[in-house]
Copies of this chain bind each other. A is one copy, B any other.
Amino acid sequence: MSRNKERGMHKVAEILRSAGIRPTAQRIAIAQYVLREADHPTAEDVKAHLDRVFPMVSTATVYNTLNALVEHGLIRAIKFPHADAAIYDQKMHHHYHFLDEPSGRLYDVDPADVQVKPQLGATCEITEVDVLIRGRLIDPGLSGPSTTVSPT
Residues of A within 8 A of B (CB): 78-81, 98, 100-101, 109, 113-139, 142, 144-147
Contact = CB atoms under 8 A, between A and B. Distances in A.
A48 to B, nearest CB: 23
Taken together, the copies of this chain in the complex come to 2
Contacts of A138: 122-125
> Main secondary structure on chain A at its contact with chain B?
strand
A127 B120 contact: no
A79 B127 CA distance: 20
A103 to B, nearest CB: 12
Nearest to A112: B119
Given A114-B116, A114-B117, A135 B125 contact: yes
